[in-house]
Structure 1
């Protein structure tokens, strides 16, 4: 998992052997919400547009509140934030199937989706923040960059695996039992595992290092262009996820197989997770900026092929190649964010990226749902290519306006 065995073992020892499986399962409900809401609303209300709008509403809630939760975690600690937020989210998820199945007006249904998104515990950014805090404390300065890269690769691979398992579970439960069961399952997982993650001993950690005092940078540093381009890149990734899932759902729904979308969508995650984890072995001279551009371009090329697919086998092949582009791109973006994160703002920064993915996914789900309903499923297949173009454009903007990391000051990883 890590380039430097002793450093990696020290990180695992400090986090605890139970930490990694716990953090993996705790982030699973987050991956199930968007797909579960979309699938349940389409099944119960019969409208891809309404399903997409509810996904967008959840994304709106995340956009409004997610970064604030990250800022609160930076200020008060993760435990004080995650425990109450997780309990609220679990309760709202438990109520959602009853609201959808009833005669609740669409507007109130959208309001509930906003609250679900606003209270969604973003475990992945919180986990990255905890691990970076451990790296600063226990890893020697000259080894930190390698361990950071490996850790970001693992975390991104874990995200990708979650986004395989999450949609797969939603599709499996929707097909074998009923669409409501996926949302109910997400509620139970949130109640048990998010709470356990919040109470894990690593939840006491605060950013800072053993060899440098922790002084929180001004909030205005979060608006630096170098960091905003990374956020824009992850927003493009979110656009891609939402456009791909919704267009795939619309395409399959034409043949009455819309509930299989989660199963096929999981194909994309196989290559994505494998290459995300494997990116830790890339040579240092293959910079994070270059990886973003190379694998983002692969994503764009595969998305163009996806747009021309007119059969399920071709779609599956395109999804497999798309996964090979998405994983390493996400690893690069999170690694860049860790380096450009202002001092003392790690949770806020990581939550900004996590929120950008969810917001992009939700907005693209809504837009793609409208396109599918108004123009047909084949038109919807074009939108992932548009999203991939946003990812590449953000990468170009970042590369054009920042210096290579070999000469970039390591604000948080290597004390000045």
Structure 2
């Protein structure tokens, strides 16, 4: 490795500081939302079971419809403002419905509708960084800085959300999230480059799912998210909430540190091979606490796994610029987010079954096997003639 582009140079790009601050403000709503949303819907329905089911289905809608919302913003950048305004209005309406104890079916319907509408921020910002950066090294630094900021917001957001709910009430905090959407996305829309510079006109209606090498990348993204979910549930069942909280915090710390280090280095490994290498390394990280079942091994394993995970995601975002058709890169980034969320959901569900039937000792080996299976599938697919485009991704 050698030194790459500096973060100071990234923030010196045109509008970069304003974009960076606006993206943090826009992401803050999503970081805060989880606890207030669940508790507000519980207050409005009177049932934790119904609230959990409603929020879970809304989250599934958010993940599955994310690429469609990103495609809309890809092709019509001006749609970001009305999309954000509609989402903020639905959050405010949901807060009012929960505080006013509206009929339960209406509360559920508004929550589900809100889950269909969150505007994209991460995929959009990564597309913009890719277009602002001068060369691959600066793009790597920009994406690393953006991912570190996102990871920090999502690590601290639930803590802040819980404190605010304890200080006021869940519906009030939910209303505050609606205000954050208006402010954050308003700042972001104003800071974006002109539509012609930010998002080029699409060539036809080609989907990034048909791009060579993109589906294996989605598989690796889903597998690394599923491995984390398996590890979290296994630790929670076997070690309790305190140990799990500390260890998963180490995962976040490792992710931020690994991403920032990666952004400052020039890596000799070809870009197309980095996700496979990182997924395989993450499998070894999860194998450490599986082989040595101690808290120290779990902490070390998840610290290193966090670094592998964030760097894999950054490399995946870099590859999007080479694999996805012009004019669909925000949509491609949203597909990566969807794959990650679906992988996490599948990992959580599988972990529950394994704990019930085989015990906690089976969970971490399942995480290792899942990652190795994804690596093997990716290698087999890339070995087939006509699959992947390594030359393009190394340009």
- Is residue 2:337 matched to residue 1:337? no
Output the CA distance in 1 between the equivalents of 2:194 and 2:297: 45
- Is residue 2:138 matched to residue 1:147? yes
Q: What is aligned with 1:26?
A: 26
Output the CA distance in 1 between the equivalents of 2:153 and 2:358: 30
Q: Out of 148, 151, 157, which is 1:157 matched to?
A: 148
Q: What is aligned with 2:157?
A: 166
Structure 1 pair 100–145 and aligned structure 2 pair: CA distance change class (3 A): same
For residues 106-145 of structure 1, what are the structure 2 equivalents within 5 Å?
112-135=110-133, 139=134, 144-145=135-136
Name which of structure 1's ranges 231-240 and 329-338 shifts more when overlaid on structure 2: 231-240
Structure 1 pair 160–221 and aligned structure 2 pair: CA distance change class (3 A): closer
For residues 198-277 of structure 1, what are the structure 2 equivalents within 5 Å?
198-202=189-193, 204-207=195-198, 216-220=203-207, 222-240=209-227, 242-244=229-231, 265-277=248-260
Output the CA distance in 2 between the equivalents of 1:289 and 1:124: 22
Q: What is aligned with 1:66?
A: 66
Count of residues paired in the alignment: 387
Q: Deviation of residue 205 (structure 1)?
A: 4.7
RMSD after superposition: 4.2
Q: Deviation of residue 392 (structure 1)?
A: 3.2
Structure 1 pair 56–409 and aligned structure 2 pair: CA distance change class (3 A): same
- Is residue 2:1 matched to residue 1:3? no
Note the residue ranges of structure 1 that are not aligned, 5 or more in a row. Answer: none
Structure 1 pair 300–338 and aligned structure 2 pair: CA distance change class (3 A): same
Output the CA distance in 1 between the equivalents of 2:216 and 2:388: 14
Give yes or no for contact 2:15–2:191 (8 Å, CA) kept in 1. Answer: no
- TM-score by length of structure 1 reads 0.74
Output the CA distance in 1 between the equivalents of 2:206 and 2:263: 31
- TM-score by length of structure 2 reads 0.77
Q: Deviation of residue 86 (structure 1)?
A: 1.8
Q: Secondary structure at the match of 1:17?
A: helix
Structure 1 pair 230–54 and aligned structure 2 pair: CA distance change class (3 A): farther
Q: Deviation of residue 330 (structure 1)?
A: 1.0
Note the residue ranges of structure 2 that are not aligned, 5 or more in a row. Answer: none
For residues 186-201 of structure 1, what are the structure 2 equivalents within 5 Å?
186-201=177-192
